[in-house]
Structure 1
Amino acid sequence: MKSRYVFPRHTKADLPIAVGGDGPFLIDADGKRYLDACGGAAVSCLGHSDEKLKAAVHEQVDKLAYAHTSFFTTDPSEELAERLAELSPGDLNRVYFVSGGSEAMESALKLARQFHMENGQLERAKIIARWQSYHGNTLGALSAGGNRWRRAQFEPMLSPAMHHVSQCNAYRSQAAGESDEAYTDRLAQELDDTIQNLGSETVAAFVAEPVVGATMGAVPPVAGYFRKMHAVCKKHGVLLILDEVMCGMGRTGTLFACEQEGVAPDMIAIAKGLGAGVQPIGALLVSDRIYDTIETGSGFFQHGHTYLGHPMACAVGNAVLDRLVGDDVLARVAPIGEQLRQALTARFGNHPNVGDIRGRGLFLGLELVADRGTKEPFDPKLGLAGKIKKRAMAEGLMCYPMGGTIDGERGDHVLLAPPFIIEDEHIAMIVDRLETAITASLPQ
């Protein structure tokens, strides 16, 4: 049914109406069931009918739906902040709640600036991020992001304070015969050179996704990369901000993706899985050093949103942690993710048009190529990603294909981020239906 009043993402899309959820499935108004192999956008980590999450909503709404944070704090927000602080790496002991990933990243950028100002370093306003990254759709976060397709039409409005270095992508950017150590040294040197060229006294922060999400399709870093980038940041007094909006909250097999890198940053942005799709919520985890600087200085973070620390959202966040940590659902992610990866490799490992299968945990990607030997991508005019998504939906499979994998224009990938509750039967469905969708969409 065509929408008459909703402003949809795409005005020419004729979308089915979702009316129900059952575990890892969504159900439309005609009764058709869709296996959610992407969590929407890596959001629904516990599926679509979790009883504990539903109970948390009912219990909290009966107590308190909303209280503005300029007047009150609430038990759900205080509890969730304490639990996240205890579970996070390093000294990330303060939590700033927002309503989603873009807000979390916008908060991080502004807090980085204010931190340096309150330390008397008034020139530190520049942000360095990476090409082929995505940090949100608000203008500040979009400026930091390196997704050229998303940036293009808004370029005149984007901040000149944002600068970019190369992404870490072994499949596309590591030279033949170049060791992991040499490759990561090269990228660390590029960051060091960029900071010095900009003037180290002018750079506020370096921003990166530990595992790159929608822009490149679940690309993990090369071993040692983040430790070296962190060292460069420390050398120049630059904050390290990690964007775990998509790859965090257990998606890669640990609650925080950076745990696997042995790095504790100055800030971590989380969202998506924190509310598991049941409530919109995000958070910025902040180190003691940053918080103490604000507290002993002005005491006021010059920022804010209406729904900061929303009690309903925080109640669901606590229920999500109850399930991930208390019920040990998190422990399933690595082994079931490995099963899915093995199934994908068995089916697509020798496929002439699948160049790379990658990712961590239940955050996996397949990069599609016209030629495996040369890694030549398909012509963007084919619109391959869109065709795969449409055919997959026809087959009852939700996946997350995207174009522009290589440079914002060329390249196609399929991102998979299914709920942590999937079983063997769902893995078989994912692989079978994805193969049908890819085969039907490839040029003949």
Structure 2
Amino acid sequence: MTNTVHPFNTDTDVISEGNKAHSTLLNHTKPQPIAIEGSGLYFMLEDGRKILDAISGGAAVNCLGNGNKELTEVFVNQINKMAFSYHQSLGNEAAEGLANYLVEKSDEDFKSAVFLNSGSEAVEAAIKLAREYWVKMGQPQRTQIISRFPSYHGTTLGALGVGNIPSRRDVSEPLLAKNVYHVTSPQYKRQSYVNKTEEEYSLRLSHELEEKILEIGSENIIGFIAEPVVGAALGVMPPPKGYFPLIKKLLNKYGLLLIFDEVMSGSGRSGGDGLFAYKNKQISEDLDLVKPDILTMAKGLGSGYVCISSVLSNEKITNKIRESGGWKNSHTYQNHPVNCAVARKVLEIFERDNLITSVNERGEQLISELKEATRDIETIFDVRGRGLFVGVELIGSSTLTPRLAARVKDKAFENGLLIMAISGTIDGVEGESVILAPAYTVTKEQISEIVRLLAKSIKEVIIELDCKADQQI
């Protein structure tokens, strides 16, 4: 059994003064601080404190911030017009409009879309779609999937199965599918051999994948699933240079599907030229080559105002599913008209207000100022990211209780800053990282304040640990 520390460090969250000892909600052993109001990038707590949100509500979701009245208006108008229609009985114009919009923005790399309620549901549905495609192609023996380690793709049983973070799947391990294989998830700075370039490291990982394909037998494999920018599993990790072009060439060589999980890194979060991370030249240099067969979206798609995710499929998969009688996947709230109407407005605001440009500019500012503010902190191993999706990796041992990332998160909260803390970001056990993913509407001044508060918090945690160490000598 591996170390089972929860990677979200929920048991070490700061508790606001006066909170009851236990919450009626099941998720946490201690009650969370209670937010009573949100406006833009700030939360007001029940104890009167004001918190600057550097993680879009907690998990890179609320990309337009709280209090957007345009989204509120669309929400209410759609409910008044038509609150619900079951997709098996009736279509609705909101879902059709959102699907058309996403297909158009993909430059028709995709030909169809479906809308679900969470990232986990989307990944689960993507796996089922890929399997059904091969069955309808007359190749039912294709039952195996290749993923990466460490990786995280969601919390349903199917999504947990393709992901692999020991602390998130240990309890459910006996229930998970045994047809998933894992290859190395890229960590160039930690794993590369001495004097080897990123391109050489990528080539080594492509050789590992090819060996795994040959071991399993390409005729038995459904495909390969990966995040374009790894989120929670590695504490925000962009791919090394040349990685995805090499991977896609291999998949094409052996006739395997590529599933991109853009639940966290997509919807404009990673910057580049648009909504999709796979279209970012800093992620997949050969844009003509690296096109996924299936793609999942969530989080920023609805900006937290609604619960929505999406699965998009390319022409060959769409055509095969349609000509074979339709997709065997159905959820009660699939293609929900209110969710789809709000998500469409979210995407329209991205485009109208040129927020992708803001993501790129503020993301560059965030990384640059972070590197400058923390360059003398030896505990920091790396600062990296794409767009407004940034990770700060710390050097800390899994034997420390509470873990280092959790201490930094708690200290940051004391100082008025909300961030995400993840432990196990090297191998599922070792590794300490904090993630920053502010709303796309973040200002220059707020970026600088986020940097100031985070650097201050890290330094204060280090001083506290050094004092405790001195006291024990």
Q: One fold, TM greater than 0.5?
A: yes
Find the counterpart in structure 1 of residue 393 from structure 2: 367
8 A Cα contact 1:89 1:264, kept in partner: no
Instruction: Quote the offset at 1:390 in angstroms.
Output: 1.7
CA distance in 2, matches of 1:295, 1:94: 10
Whether the aligned pair in 2 keeps the contact of 1:380 and 1:410 (CA below 8 Å) is no
**Cα displacement string for residues 312-347 of structure 1 (whole angstroms, at most 9, x for unaligned residues):** 110111111111012212221001111111110111
Q: Which residue of 1 aligns with 2:426?
A: 406
- Runs (5+) with no aligned partner, structure 1: 371-376
Deviation sequence 1:58-84 (CA, Å, 0-9, x none): 111111111110111111111000000
> What is the DSSP-based 3-state SS (H/G/I as helix, E as strand, rest coil) of the residue aligned with 1:324?
helix
**How far apart in 1 are the matches of 2:146 and 2:222?**
8
Could you tell me which of 143, 146, 150 is aligned with 2:168? 150
* Structural mapping, 1:9-408, within 5 Å: 9-11=27-29, 13-39=30-56, 40-88=58-106, 91-254=109-272, 255-260=275-280, 261=284, 262=287, 263-297=290-324, 299-370=325-396, 377=397, 379-408=399-428
Q: Deviations over 1:136-195 (max 9, x none)?
A: 000000000022221222211111011100011111112221122221111111111101
1:62 aligns to what SS in structure 2? helix
How many residues are matched? 436
Measured after TM superposition, the shift of residue 399 of structure 1 is: 0.3
Task: Specify whether residues 302 and 209 from structure 1 end up closer, same or farther in structure 2 by C-alpha distance, changes over 3 A only.
Answer: same
Q: Which runs of 5+ in 2 are unaligned?
A: 1-18, 467-473
Q: What RMSD in Å do the two structures reach over aligned CA positions?
A: 1.5
Distance in 1 (CA, whole Å) between partners of 2:373 and 2:199 is: 32
CA contact (8 A) 1:365 1:413 kept: yes
Alignment partners' CA distance in 1, 2:321 and 2:398: 50
Cα 1:412–1:4 shift into 2, 3 Å: closer
Check whether the contact 2:23–2:31 (CA below 8 A) recurs between aligned residues: no
Q: Counterparts of 2:198 and 2:109 in 1: how far apart (Å)?
A: 29
Q: What is the match of residue 419 of structure 1?
A: 439
Q: Give SS of 1:253's match.
A: coil
AA aligned to 1:130 is: R
Conserved 8 A contact 1:148-1:407: no
Superposed CA offset, 1:267-306 (max 9, x none): 1100000000000100001111001111111x22112211
| 2:209 alignment partner AA | L
Where 1:141 maps in the other structure, the secondary structure is: helix
CA contact (8 A) 1:379 1:410 kept: no
Q: State, as a whole percentage, how many aligned pairs show the same letter.
A: 39
Q: Is the 8 A contact 2:60 2:264 kept in 1?
A: yes
The structural deviation recorded for 1:30 is 2.8
Give the Cα–Cα distance (whole angstroms) in 2 for the partners of residues 124 and 225 of structure 1: 25
- What amino acid maps onto 2:194 in structure 1? A
Q: Which letter does structure 1 place at the counterpart of 2:175? A: M
Cα offset, 1:366, TM superposition: 0.6
Give the match's secondary structure for 2:171: helix
CA deviation digits over 1:337-365, x for unaligned, max 9? Answer: 11111110111123111010000110001
Cα distance in structure 2, aligned partners of 1:378 and 1:16 = 26
SS at match of 1:8: coil
Local SS of the residue matching 1:42:
coil
Rounded Cα–Cα distance in structure 1 between residues aligned with 2:108 and 2:197: 30
Q: Aligned AA for 2:304?
A: G
Instruction: Tell me how far 1:7 sits from its aligned partner.
Output: 2.5
Q: Distance in 2 between matches of 1:189 and 1:141?
A: 26
Letter of the 1:265 counterpart = P
Shift of 1:112: 0.7
Deviation for aligned residue 1:203: 0.4
